Amino acid sequence: MITITGLTRSFGTKQVLRGVDLHVPKGQSMVVIGGSGTGKSVLIKCILGLVTPDGGTITVDGQDVTRVPRDAFLARFGMLFQGGALFDSLPVWQNVAFRLLRGSLRRPRPEARAIAIEKLRRVGLGPETADLYPAELSGGMQKRVGLARAIAAEPQIIFFDEPTTGLDPIMAGVINDLIREIVTEMGATAITITHDMSSVRAIADRVAMLHNGKIRWTGPASQLDSCGDPYVAQFIHGSPDGPIETLR
């Protein structure tokens, strides 16, 4: 369970988050939508402590994230970065098994490799990719390796930053199903950022829309089409006309 209250963050003079309030119940899949540059990535980086908030509080299972022991805290999380963020000095399988090769979750190398290959299979990559280096993969393949790495240690809380951008529609469907599966079967709590409306419908239990530094609307995915909020309506229909300004 993640609760965010009054979260603010600026970069220079630019106020990106202006008081975000968001609640993600345990074992649910929350999808965050919102225009490009509205601070969605910054929002999840704040939860992980990668970006320090200017104000507001974030609690996970009732504990303030700034006061918990970092290692134990982070061991519960998995994160897919928007750009993949694969370690380009390591082959694909060592990227996926990174957590399993060192630290508290350490396992024997052959076992870690077997798990990595299994996770790669789940994101639609064959065992032949295991020994390639990230630079030898296409953008969409890198994204999927990043996804495999995020789920490798079976975390309780997973963040996906645009998991399906750069993927073909079929692969995007596979990934959507995978995320749904992780939430329903493993009981994980997930926050997914996406611009892809078919993803939203496939993944989300709840949806939140970030606009102008605040959560504009949040509610169950089933109410997305009938919520009556003009901002949400404009966003999901991808219409250039509406309250959201499009600079041209």
Partner 1 sequence: MTRLLAALGKTTLGTLAALGRIAIFTGQTFGHLLRPPFYPREFATALLQIGYFSLPVVGLTALFTGGALALQIYSGGARFSAEAVVPQIVAIGMVRELGPVLVGLMIAARVTSSIAAEIATMKVTEQIDALVTLSTDPMKYLTLPRVLAATLVMPVLVAVGNVIGIMGGWLVATQRLGFNPTGYLRNTVDFLELHDIGSSLAKGAVFGFLAALMGCYYGMASERGAMGVGRATKGAVVAAAVLILAANFLLTEAFFSA
Ligand X SMILES: Nc1ncnc2c1ncn2[C@@H]1O[C@H](COP(=O)(O)OP(=O)(O)OP(=O)(O)O)[C@@H](O)[C@H]1O
**Site of interaction with ligand X (CB under 6 A):** 11, 16, 34, 36-42, 82
Q: Which two tokens stand for residue 107?
A: 């396992």
3-state secondary structure of 103: helix
Q: Does 223 bind Mg ion (CB under 5 A)?
A: no
Interface mask toward partner 1 for 147-166; x: CB under 8 A: --x-----------------
- Name the strands in the sheet holding 29-33, side by side, starting at the edge strand that comes first in the sequence: 77-80, 157-161, 189-193, 29-33, 206-211, 214-220
Q: Match 């790495």 to its residue by tokens.
A: 149
What type of residue sits at position 222?
A: S
Q: Does 103 bind partner 1 (CB under 8 A)?
A: yes
Please choose, out of 28-36, 74-82, 115-123, 171-179, the segment that lies near partner 1 by the rule CB under 8 A.
74-82
Contact 234, 247 (CB under 8 A): no
Detail the DSSP E strand segments found in 198-239.
Answer: 206-211, 214-220
* Residue closer to partner 1, measured from CB, 14 or 237: 14
- Contacts of 246 by beta carbon, 8 Å cutoff, 6+ apart: 240
* Residue closer to ligand X, measured from CB, 35 or 124: 35
Question: Which among partner 1, Mg ion, ligand X, none contacts residue 39 (Cβ within 5 to 8 A by kind)?
Answer: ligand X
Q: Does 5 bind Mg ion (CB under 5 A)?
A: no
Q: Does 83 bind partner 1 (CB under 8 A)?
A: yes
- Out of 29, 41, 95, 192, the only residue in the binding site for Mg ion (CB under 5 A) is 41
